[in-house]
Amino acid sequence: MATKTTGPLYVEPKHRCGDDRFLLLLSNMTGSDVNVTLQHYAAEFTAPALPENWINVLTTVVAVPNETVANLILPIGKDFPYHQFFIDPDSSDVLPVLYLLENLSDAVQDFPLVPAGDWLTV
């Protein structure tokens, strides 16, 4: 399947400290269980223009059972203002949505940081 990405995301300083986190939702309504490979990269303020300066923060495989939504809470990190997410699902019907959480229960805004339809195919 094709890899999907958020593209580079800038996180303001006020969201890089405290309890702020990313919330990634992976919706699976494909009719079968799927595995999704997730990669999270981060870059320092002066480094995002150069691909070699992106640091792999996390690479993991997430099992998402049929007719469920998997949720992953991911740290932001105070030293990295730029973030980029890649997912490589077993099926193109897996829908990712990314939120920015102000704390573990409240989103920063009422709408997703990256809605399902805004992920880019690479």
Residue 17, pLDDT score: 73
pLDDT classification of 28: cutoffs 50, 70, 90:
very high
**For residue 98, what pLDDT is reported?**
94
Give pLDDT tens digits for 39-90.
Answer: 999 998 876 778 888 999 999 999 999 999 999 999 887 888 999 999 998 7
Task: Please report which confidence band the pLDDT of residue 14 belongs to, taking 50, 70 and 90 as the band edges.
Answer: confident
Q: Give the C-alpha separation, 54 to 56, whole Å.
A: 7
Task: Output the average pLDDT for the chain.
Answer: 87
Distance of alpha carbon 73 from alpha carbon 106, whole angstroms = 12
Per-residue pLDDT, averaged over 98-108, amounts to: 74
Q: What residue ranges define each of the domains in the chain, with the CATH number in brackets?
A: 4-107 (2.60.290)
CA angle 37, 50, 79 (to 5 degrees): 75
